[in-house]
């Protein structure tokens, strides 16, 4: 087990070395993610050689594509090409961005709420999105708007409306006490869950579709889904990285953060909006995938320390890696039967987390 | 020079008024102590000035600008706060935490520079914690944490420093070191320091002036002599205290004696006359007054250490000029007081020719049938400086039925039985 946050001696000289160390961590994780994606592309009902897979991918990137030679262009190659481009890659990219979104939203909410039990769903996004999805499935609506299907759209909107309601319930004047946000989120979640249960009972044969959605799955992921969610998640990630230093200070509590020059109410508002948007974007393409948003931030914190400037990017990359691996397991282990990916995030994530927890003894926060 | 004006500020928590009509102003280079009982609003006052709790009425002006219209960043460049409660429960290192103090000076898209690091290092060296730079804050001791927080406030390079009991966790050495440091910064850099203290002596030694709060109002403000006097301490803290100028440091020092909660005096308390001198009566008088007996004393020389205590506690005393023998006049006055007492207690006093008359007074009380208790810790021959006269009188007391005891507790129990008898 590598631990990156080795104790430093004599802070001054080493202080700026930490930035170099952070760069190394990020480069390492990016390489690990590439490797994971390569692995995920190659395995499935039809094995595809890694080199072929990369040739296919790179050829389809504008400009870069011209640099690679044509290679074998037989029938075999074109079959592989459509498997990679049409079936596996959209799914893998979807898992990547959902992993990024959930892990990063988890980091942000745990920091803002100063609560290690917080995850991206704690403020009600999941239940709102689930309600949106169950209404669509229940009423059997099937439209598509700019390539976004009805479930994705309604899940996204449902999630955001719920957060908006929670936020406004918690707000007292200009201030938003985060503990009240947490409690209001839990209350609204229970309330919406009751409604969803009611809908489920009346559903009949489409129950299966909803249950599958609720467990989380990338079965239906397409380039269209990805194209809509990806910009939201990337922009959200950038905003969060920009605010990373302020998020560190936020951990000292509202009063101290304010006295150190952080505009706390503005920060809370921006972070809640961004975390909600990226979570809603993630949920809208994959349904509700558990554990990533709770456990990845903790794993990352144990490995790289509490500073959000490294915690956010490394959580994002770790979330992507783990979720791609889990999804690969979900679609290959019991072929041709697909398992819900949430089964694997819990199955792999929790033991790994517990292992680190015991090794570290103290939970950081 | 920096200037802070507090203009008739009222503060509320919800609908509860916690500060009322607070007015004062401070200039750069002044070290101001904020004193007051628990719950009197000291922390609230600092919060209000530090732009955490907006006053409902009044304004806080820093260099003539209302802090509540300044942006958080702007305020943080000017005001640093060391909070009362410094629990920091996460994994940042001490250096990380001190560097956070640089936040107001770092641009939004920038990160800390060599200069920020140098300033942080400097303030950690000043507070003697540079050797802890790489330690996790959550693993530091209470005092070390407190010094980290103070270092962070210094790294902020403020013009106004608000400290809420900055030395509460520090040992005596660091208390003095920290206060010396703060005082020096205050004078050299022209900082305004407002600091809450529960330790009067520390406040008296370092502050230029003080504000005494009571129930959310300013009870006294100004120089330390004006604020920290016996009357104010009695009125606001309900504590009897001796306030004196220390001969060595030349600052005031306060010795608390006993609490004096109003209204605890029993209506039918016995009147007890205490005969003492030379400091032998201090613990006796303190014990009896804590048990709320009505006390009188005499005859005591002015400047006798017992006399100080008696005066501080406001106990009626028959006094004599310093270092003089008891005159007939004082003796008579003393007998008068003895007549009004239900019991007379003689402390373990040494006797010389000067105070022999006190022994005669006690004898007189015995002859009048007043319960007379003699605290006899040291054998009389060891404290008889009259060549046997005192000893003879003493023996006479024993013969005539004075009750001899060894300590204060026995005095108390005798008085208690006496009280229950007379009560019936
Ligand atoms: N957040 C709060 N909400 C409501 N009331 C409060 C709050 N904080 C303090 N109070 C009340 O306001 C009054 C003043 O409190 P404050 O903390 O200013 O006292 P203090 O002088 O600092 O006392 P201490 O010496 O114990 O630190 C107290 O009666 C307290 O109970
Ligand atoms: Mg206080």
Minimum-distance CB partner of A306 among B75, B76, B92: B92
Tens digit of pLDDT at every position of chain B (424 positions) = 899 999 999 999 989 999 999 999 999 999 999 999 999 999 999 999 999 999 999 999 999 999 999 999 999 999 999 998 766 656 889 999 999 999 999 988 888 889 999 999 999 999 999 999 989 888 888 899 999 999 999 999 999 999 999 998 899 999 999 999 999 999 999 999 999 999 998 999 999 999 999 999 999 999 988 898 888 988 898 887 778 777 787 788 887 776 665 545 566 678 999 999 888 888 888 888 878 888 999 899 988 888 888 887 778 899 898 888 999 999 999 999 999 899 999 999 999 998 999 999 999 998 888 999 999 988 888 999 988 889 999 899 988 888 999 988 899 999 888 888 876 5
> What are the φ/ψ torsions at residue A111 (nearest 5 degrees)?
-70, -50
Rounded to 5°, angle at Cα B19 from B16 and B24: 165
Task: Quote the ipTM score.
Answer: 0.84
Model confidence at A4: pLDDT above 80: no
CA distance B64 to B74: 14
Chain A with chain B: Cβ pairs closer than 8 A? 80
All structural domains of chain B: 3-257 (3.40.50.300), 271-423 (3.40.50.2000)
For chain B, the straight-line distance linking the first and the last C-alpha, in angstroms and rounded, comes to 71
Indicate if ligand 1 lies below 6 Å from the C-beta of B323: no
- Whether residues A15 and B103 touch (CB distance < 8 A) is answered with no
Closest C-alpha to B190, from B386, B2, B411, B402? B2
Q: Does domain A28-363 have CATH number 1.10.3470.10?
A: yes
Q: How far is CA A365 from CA A28, A302, A305, B199, in A?
A: 25, 10, 10, 34
Model confidence at A208: pLDDT above 90: no
Contacts of A8 in chain B (CB under 8 A): 134
Helix axis angle for A75-82 and A50-59, nearest 10°, is 70
Indicate if ligand 1 lies below 6 Å from the C-beta of B43: yes
Contacts of B109 in chain A (CB under 8 A): 242
Model confidence at A343: pLDDT above 70: yes
Sorted by sequence, the CB contacts under 8 Å of residue A283 that are 6+ apart come out as A125, A126, A129, A155, A156, A159
Model confidence at A3: pLDDT above 60: no
For residue B372, the Cα-to-chain-centroid distance in whole angstroms is 36
- Whether residues A306 and B51 touch (CB distance < 8 A) is answered with no
pLDDT digits (tens, 9 = 90+) for A264-297: 999 999 999 999 999 999 998 888 898 899 899 9
> What are the φ/ψ torsions at residue B219 (nearest 5 degrees)?
-90, -30
Sorted by sequence, the CB contacts under 8 Å of residue B305 that are 6+ apart come out as B278, B279, B282
pLDDT digits (tens, 9 = 90+) for A223-273: 888 988 999 999 999 999 999 999 999 999 888 999 999 999 999 999 999
pTM for this model (two decimals) = 0.80
Residue with tokens 């194209």: A227
Indicate if ligand 1 lies below 6 Å from the C-beta of B36: yes
DSSP code per residue over B195-258? EE-S-HHHHHHH-SEEEEEETTEEEEEESHHHHSSHHHIIIII-EEEEEEE-TTT-SEEEEEEE
Query: Do residues A196 and A159 lie in contact, with contact meaning Cβ atoms separated by under 8 Å?
Result: no
- Whether residues A245 and B96 touch (CB distance < 8 A) is answered with no
- Whether residues B91 and A306 touch (CB distance < 8 A) is answered with yes
Contacts of A365 in chain B (CB under 8 A): 89-91
CA distance B348 to B380: 9
Helix axis angle for A292-304 and A308-332, nearest 10°, is 130
Give the residue numbers in A contacting B (CB under 8 Å), as ranges.
Answer: 7-12, 15-16, 19, 242, 245-246, 248-249, 251-252, 255-256, 258-264, 301, 305-307, 309, 364-365
Q: How far is CA A319 from CA A30, A111, A269, A362, in A?
A: 12, 17, 24, 22
B229: number of Cβ within 10 Å = 16
Minimum-distance CB partner of B52 among A255, A305, A364: A255
> Do the bridges between strand B57-62 and strand B217-222 make them parallel or antiparallel, or are there none, so unpaired?
unpaired
- Encoding tokens for residue B331? 């003796």
Domain boundaries, chain A: 28-363
Closest C-alpha to A342, from A219, A200, A182? A219
Give the residue numbers in B contacting A (CB under 8 Å), as ranges.
Answer: 47, 50-52, 71-73, 75-77, 79-81, 83, 88-93, 95-96, 100-101, 103-104, 106, 108-109, 111, 114, 117, 121, 133-134, 156
Confidence of residue A202 (pLDDT cuts 50, 70, 90): confident
Containing B284, the helix (H) or strand (E) segment is helix B282-290
Query: Do residues B307 and B300 lie in contact, with contact meaning Cβ atoms separated by under 8 Å?
Result: yes
Query: Do residues B55 and B251 lie in contact, with contact meaning Cβ atoms separated by under 8 Å?
Result: no
How many Cα atoms are found within 13 Å in the side-chain-facing hemisphere of B223? Answer: 4
Residue with tokens 């249950």: A211
Confidence of residue A348 (pLDDT cuts 50, 70, 90): confident
Shortest distance, CA A234 to any CA of chain B (angstroms)? 18
Model confidence at A2: pLDDT above 50: no
Exposure pattern of A277-297 as b/e (b: 16+ CB <10 Å)? bbbbbbbbbbbbbbbbbbbbb
Mutation choice for ligand 1 from B14, B44, B49, B213, CB with most ligand atoms inside 8 A: B44
- Whether residues A301 and B133 touch (CB distance < 8 A) is answered with no
CA distance B291 to B309: 16
Shortest distance, CA B55 to any CA of chain A (angstroms)? 15
- Whether residues A248 and B92 touch (CB distance < 8 A) is answered with yes
Indicate if ligand 1 lies below 6 Å from the C-beta of B83: no
- Whether residues A261 and B76 touch (CB distance < 8 A) is answered with yes
Model confidence at A65: pLDDT above 70: no
B293: number of Cβ within 10 Å = 24
Per-residue confidence (pLDDT) for residue A90, from 0 to 100 = 92
CA distance A319 to A322: 5
Indicate if ligand 1 lies below 6 Å from the C-beta of B40: yes
In chain B, the residue whose alpha carbon lies closest to the alpha carbon of A172 is B14
Which of residues B30 and A360 earns the better pLDDT score?
Answer: B30
In chain B, the residue whose alpha carbon lies closest to the alpha carbon of A9 is B134
B28: number of Cβ within 10 Å = 18
Model confidence at A1: pLDDT above 50: no
- Encoding tokens for residue B59? 């304004």
């Amino acid at each position: 087990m590598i631990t990156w946050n080795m104790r430093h001696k004599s802070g001054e000289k080493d202080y700026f070395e930490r930035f170099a160390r952070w760069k190394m961590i990020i480069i390492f994780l990016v390489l690990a993610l590439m490797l994971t994606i390569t692995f995920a592309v190659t395995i499935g009902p039809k094995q595809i050689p890694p080199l072929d897979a990369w040739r296919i991918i790179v050829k389809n990137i504008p400009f870069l594509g011209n640099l690679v030679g044509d290679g074998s262009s037989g029938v075999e190659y074109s079959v592989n090409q459509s498997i990679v481009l049409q079936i596996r890659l959209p799914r893998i990219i979807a898992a990547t961005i959902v992993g990024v979104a959930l892990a990063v939203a988890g980091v942000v909410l745990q920091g803002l709420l100063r609560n290690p039990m917080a995850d991206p769903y704690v403020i009600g996004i999941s239940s709102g999105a689930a309600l949106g999805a169950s209404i669509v499935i229940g009423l059997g609506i099937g439209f598509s708007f700019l390539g976004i299907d009805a479930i994705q759209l309604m899940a996204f909107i449902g999630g955001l409306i719920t957060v908006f309601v929670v936020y406004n319930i918690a707000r007292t004047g200009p201030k938003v006490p985060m503990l009240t946000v947490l409690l209001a989120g839990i209350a609204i979640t229970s309330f919406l869950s009751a409604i969803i249960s009611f809908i489920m009972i009346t559903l009949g044969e489409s129950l299966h579709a909803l249950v599958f959605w609720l467990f989380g799955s990338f079965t239906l992921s397409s380039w269209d889904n990805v194209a809509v969610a990806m910009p939201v998640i990337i922009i959200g990630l950038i905003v969060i990285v920009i605010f990373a230093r302020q998020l560190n200070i936020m951990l000292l509590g509202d009063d101290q953060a304010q006295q150190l020059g952080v505009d706390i109410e503005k920060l809370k508002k921006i972070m809640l909006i961004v975390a909600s948007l990226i979570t809603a974007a993630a949920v809208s393409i994959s349904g509700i995938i558990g554990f990533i948003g709770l456990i990845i931030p903790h794993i990352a914190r144990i490995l790289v320390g509490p500073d959000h400037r490294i915690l956010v990017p490394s959580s994002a990359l770790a979330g992507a890696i783990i979720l791609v691996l889990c999804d690969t397991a979900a679609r290959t282990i019991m072929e041709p039967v697909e398992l819900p990916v949430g089964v694997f995030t819990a199955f792999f994530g929790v033991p790994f987390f517990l292992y680190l927890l015991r090794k570290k003894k103290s939970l950081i926060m | 020079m920096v200037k802070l004006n507090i203009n008739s500020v009222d503060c509320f928590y919800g609908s509860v008024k916690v500060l009322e009509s607070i007015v004062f102003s401070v200039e750069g280079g002044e070290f101001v102590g904020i004193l007051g009982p628990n719950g009197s609003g000291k922390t609230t006052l600092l919060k209000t000035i530090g732009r955490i709790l907006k006053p409902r009425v009044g304004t806080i002006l820093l260099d003539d600008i209302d802090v509540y219209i300044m942006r958080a960043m702007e305020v943080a460049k000017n005001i640093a706060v060391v909070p009362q409660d410094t629990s920091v429960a996460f994994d940042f290192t001490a250096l990380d935490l001190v560097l956070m103090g640089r936040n107001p000076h770092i641009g939004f898209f920038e990160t800390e520079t060599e200069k920020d690091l140098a300033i942080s290092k400097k303030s950690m060296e000043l507070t003697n914690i540079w050797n802890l730079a790489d330690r996790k804050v959550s693993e530091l001791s209470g005092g070390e944490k407190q010094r980290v927080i103070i270092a962070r406030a210094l790294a902020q390079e403020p013009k106004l420093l608000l400290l809420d009991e900055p030395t509460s966790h520090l040992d005596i050495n660091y208390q003095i070191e920290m206060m010396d440091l703060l005082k020096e910064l205050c004078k050299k850099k022209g900082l305004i320091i407002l600091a809450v203290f529960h330790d009067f002596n520390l406040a008296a030694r370092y502050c230029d002036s003080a504000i005494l709060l009571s129930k959310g109002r300013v009870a006294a403000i100004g120089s330390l002599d004006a604020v920290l006097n016996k009357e104010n301490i009695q009125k606001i803290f309900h504590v009897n205290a001796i306030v004196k100028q220390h001969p060595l440091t030349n600052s005031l020092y306060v010795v608390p004696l006993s609490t004096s909660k109003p209204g605890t005096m029993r209506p039918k308390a016995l009147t007890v006359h205490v005969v003492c001198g030379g400091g032998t009566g201090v613990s006796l008088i303190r014990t009896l007054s804590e048990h709320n007996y009505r006390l009188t004393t005499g005859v005591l020389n002015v400047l006798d250490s017992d006399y100080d205590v008696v005066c501080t506690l406001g106990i009626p005393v028959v006094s004599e000029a310093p270092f003089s023998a008891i005159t007939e006049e004082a003796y008579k006055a003393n007998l008068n007081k003895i007549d009004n007492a239900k019991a007379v207690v003689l402390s373990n006093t040494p006797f010389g020719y000067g105070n022999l008359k006190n022994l005669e007074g006690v004898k007189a009380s015995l002859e009048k049938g007043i319960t007379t208790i003699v605290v006899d810790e040291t054998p009389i021959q060891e404290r008889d400086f009259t060549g046997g006269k005192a000893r003879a009188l003493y023996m006479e007391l024993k013969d005539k039925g004075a009750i001899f005891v060894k300590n204060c507790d026995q005095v108390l129990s005798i008085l208690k039985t006496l009280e229950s008898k007379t009560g019936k």
